[in-house]
Amino acid sequence: YQNAEYSKIQEKLDGKEIQIQAIVVSNVESKKYKDMYIIKIKGDKNLNNKKVYLSISKKNSKNLIYGDSVQVTGIFNKPSSRTNYKAFDYGEYLRTKGIYGILEAEDIEKEADEKLNFRDLCWQIF
């Protein structure tokens, strides 16, 4: 069932532009030309509580921290699968982490800081 859900969402959104609200649920993973975050989508009926990788180019980086609420517009990409027999399968790796895909951010806005207590923050993230 879980694999069917991943495939359904990935096929439906692959290569399409989407606009979402989300909460950052990881620290930054800095690469040479981009910053990567794991975000949990909120407010979308089909994607609510789904996790995706958020990829932001260094020139557009917003210095996000764990728990930040963001509004993102970007292109959703399905993770690549294995190309050779017995090779590493990046899509399967992300699936084991509960991540549905990669969102290449075109526009990102950090929402106003809300005063949340720890319990409220945990409730939104988990």
Name beta bridge partners: 102.
Answer: 53, 77
pLDDT at 37: 94
User: pLDDT tens-digit profile of 29-53?
Assistant: 998 999 999 999 998 777 888 899 9
Mean pLDDT, to the nearest integer, of 73-101? 84
Q: What band does 71 get if pLDDT is binned at 50, 70 and 90?
A: very high
Give the burial class of 100: count Cβ atoms within 10 A of its Cβ; 0-12 exposed, 13-18 middle, 19 or more buried: buried
Q: What band does 120 get if pLDDT is binned at 50, 70 and 90?
A: low
Answer with the residue of higher pLDDT: 6 or 112.
6
